[in-house]
Structure 1
Amino acid sequence: MKLLRRTFIATATAAVSAAIFTCSTALLAPSANAQDLTKLTFIQEWPTPDGFWIPWILGSDKGFYSEEGIELEIVTPPTVADTMKFLGTGRAEVAFTTSMDIVFAKSQEAPVVAIGRYGRGNNWGILSATGDKLSVADLKGKTLGIYNDAWTMAQLEMILSDAGLSMEDIKTVAASDDTVPLLLQKRVDAVTGITNAEGTEIVTVTGKAGEFLPAIEHGAPNTPIFALAANMGWLAKNPDTAKAFLRATTKSIAYSAAHPEEAVEAFAKRYAKAYDPAFIKQQWLDTIPLFGTTDNKALLNDAKDWETLVAALAKFKVLDGLLPATDYFTNDYLPE
């Protein structure tokens, strides 16, 4: 199988293995003078290159970051659990992560905060094969392919609770990088995922849309899944650089959404040996609508979203020691 969502072929694994911990990709416009730029380490949410990174890849190629005085260094984490470790310990200044990972990190007193959203709603849920539509009650006794990240586990518990079930009522198989092969190989009955990743992959491989059980219809909050985050100590010392980073990112999202073919080509150029062009193209097309408008408010954190998320976590007793919603985000560094 070619690389689809997150699974690399062998040659790609060799190409990116050096990215673990130490080696990363510095993205500069060809004419940029690195000596005049401030290096910004940007840790990602996944241990292999992802189509969600397209805006900062294309934006860097177009010079949007260097125009703001930034040398953007994209770092691939060893595992999904390491993104917040990098950010919290200052090995990265900014991160592409999930809202839930920020909440869990702050419960461990990590100095991290959301500085921008990525998308406007929650498109996570349970996916099953075409024609095998499931209800929440149907999940009892079923085997699910899952990811061992905070967001997956929290929402899965919420969905099950809606039908009076718990994690003890299902069996799980953890995937290191991609749940969809487990489903296509019939090793599990369903998988967790989102419409513009696992959902896109099912369509790309089979030519048919799989069945989707939306989490938001069963107790999960309709809040953005992904977020841009920053180390709070770094923010306090570098407010102008943080603002410059978000200006460039806002511009990059708008440009990538308006020029999808060019956006996919930028990804292809960087990861030519390690991706499926049909999947990446479809994934980006599936992602664009999730931004809503791509103006200066595209990254604006909505206080109601965070309040809804915290309330849901409290209701389902997902996490102890929850903080006020305003402690998890700031809009102080967004473009005016």
Structure 2
Amino acid sequence: MGVKKAFTLCLVLLLAAVMAGCGNNGGGSNTANTPGGSSASPAADAGDATAAPQELTKIKVALDWTPNTNHTGLYAAKELGYYEEEGLDVEIVQPGAAGADTMVASGEAAFGVSAQEALTLARLQNVPLVSIAAVIQHNTSGFAGPKDRNLKSPKDFEGKTYGGWGSPAEEAAMKAIMDPVGGDVSKVKIINIGEADYFTAVKRDIDFAWVFYAWTGIEAELRGEPLDMLYLKDYAPQLDYYTPVLTTSEKEIAERPELVKAFLAATTKGYEYAVANPAEAADILIKAVPDLDPELVKASQEWLSPKYKDDAARWGEQKAEIWKNYADWMYGLKLLEQPLDADAAFTNDFLPGS
């Protein structure tokens, strides 16, 4: 699983569809008038056996990619009844051609999975998305290649071929981690491989790519094809950004703040369950998505579960300096036309305990 889906779908396909649909009612699939309950009459006293069951509020959550261990907390919250406890009937959907950001901004989905880099660019194009939780506290992505390419330092990228998806941010990120160790990014051959599979591409025409270790790295180990992984955060602090994040729209926040709070209350419990119970959480994801490789899911979940919360005071917490540092770096490279209002791009206000 590379970073390309979270980046390309959110950036290339985002604007045209979003701006046409932003006038829709936030969470277009929702049927009830209140977030934690419904438009039905209040429930009778607990002792009244004839009380009608609570009508649940139906919402969609759009993933950024095919289901994987970044998403386990969502599936755990659904399977374990945490959403139902909050009065929600949650449907987890894949993004389709439009992408999750477009679905959320247009109101087709109330919530979505995205990444800080995509949301940063979207905000500066007046796309009304807001990050409401960091799924993982630190960036687990980086540049990786098979062991036989001998990538022990970013300087070793020189003379090698990198396979990417055509974004200027790729070369910028490569330069950011090569410069401190005396590397020269101009000596890297960069080609566009689009959505090509990493394992096929490194056997065919590239030496390294940008991947998430929790999925591609773990799969490489299981295949007996171990890789050298150079994490972005280890070489450039400004690249230790939040990826993935959970998003909603400004409209959803303004019109149904209690729904946002209810969604995050349940989702937090789902990710906390995955932190404490990686094996059981993996089983939940496998049950929900039986096409996934069970061995990969279990190994990935074991590696990733401690990283959901990591050193944060609570799951989902985001820091303004993380948002600002990344945006300032992009602005300095002229990848952004103007500075980002970091405080408007994210909020911790709906996390439990806020």
Structure 1 residues 141 and 325, CA gap change in structure 2 (3 angstroms):
same
Residue 326 of structure 1 corresponds to which residue in structure 2? 343
- Cα deviation 1:229-279 (Å, max 9, x = unaligned): 11111111010010000010110001122222221111221222x221111
For 1:275-294, list aligned pairs within 5 A.
Answer: 275-292=292-309
Residue 329 of structure 2 corresponds to which residue in structure 1? 312
Match of 2:56 among 14, 18, 37: 37
What is the DSSP-based 3-state SS (H/G/I as helix, E as strand, rest coil) of the residue aligned with 1:304? helix
Give the AA of the match of 2:248. Answer: A
Partners of 1:250 and 1:295 within 8 A in 2: no
Residue 117 of structure 1 corresponds to which residue in structure 2? 134
Residue 297 of structure 1 corresponds to which residue in structure 2? 314
**Structure 1 regions of 5+ residues with no counterpart?**
7-23, 25-32
Residue 230 of structure 1 corresponds to which residue in structure 2? 248
Residue 94 of structure 2 corresponds to which residue in structure 1? 76
For 1:1-336, list aligned pairs within 5 A.
Answer: 5=1, 36-46=55-65, 48-79=66-97, 82-134=99-151, 135-147=153-165, 155-156=173-174, 158-159=176-177, 165=184, 169-176=188-195, 178-183=197-202, 185-206=203-224, 209-219=226-236, 220-272=238-290, 274-292=291-309, 297-336=314-353
Aligned length: 302
- Could you tell me how far 1:123 is from its partner in structure 2? 2.1
Sequence identity percentage = 25
What is the DSSP-based 3-state SS (H/G/I as helix, E as strand, rest coil) of the residue aligned with 2:173? helix
What is the distance in 1 between the residues matched to 2:239 and 2:213? 16
Give the AA of the match of 1:132. Answer: R
What is the distance in 2 between the residues matched to 1:169 and 1:296? 40
- Cα deviation 1:19-78 (Å, max 9, x = unaligned): xxxxx9xxxxxxxx99711111111111x2222211111220110001101111112112
Give the AA of the match of 2:300. Answer: Q
- Could you tell me how far 1:83 is from its partner in structure 2? 1.8
- Could you tell me how far 1:311 is from its partner in structure 2? 2.3
Give the AA of the match of 1:173. Answer: N
Aligned-CA RMSD value: 2.8
What is the distance in 1 between the residues matched to 2:232 and 2:312? 28
Give the AA of the match of 1:133. Answer: N
What is the distance in 2 between the residues matched to 1:293 and 1:144? 31
Larger Rg: 2
Partners of 2:130 and 2:347 within 8 A in 1: yes
What is the distance in 2 between the residues matched to 1:202 and 1:51? 16
Structure 1 residues 149 and 282, CA gap change in structure 2 (3 angstroms):
farther
Structure 1 residues 194 and 108, CA gap change in structure 2 (3 angstroms):
same
Give the TM-score normalised by the residue count of structure 1.
0.81
What is the distance in 2 between the residues matched to 1:237 and 1:198? 39
What is the DSSP-based 3-state SS (H/G/I as helix, E as strand, rest coil) of the residue aligned with 1:72? strand
Structure 1 residues 149 and 88, CA gap change in structure 2 (3 angstroms):
farther
- Could you tell me how far 1:141 is from its partner in structure 2? 4.2
Give the AA of the match of 2:191. Answer: T
- Cα deviation 1:186-237 (Å, max 9, x = unaligned): 431111112212211211111x531112222443422222111111111110
Q: Which stretch shifts more, 170-179 or 256-265? A: 170-179
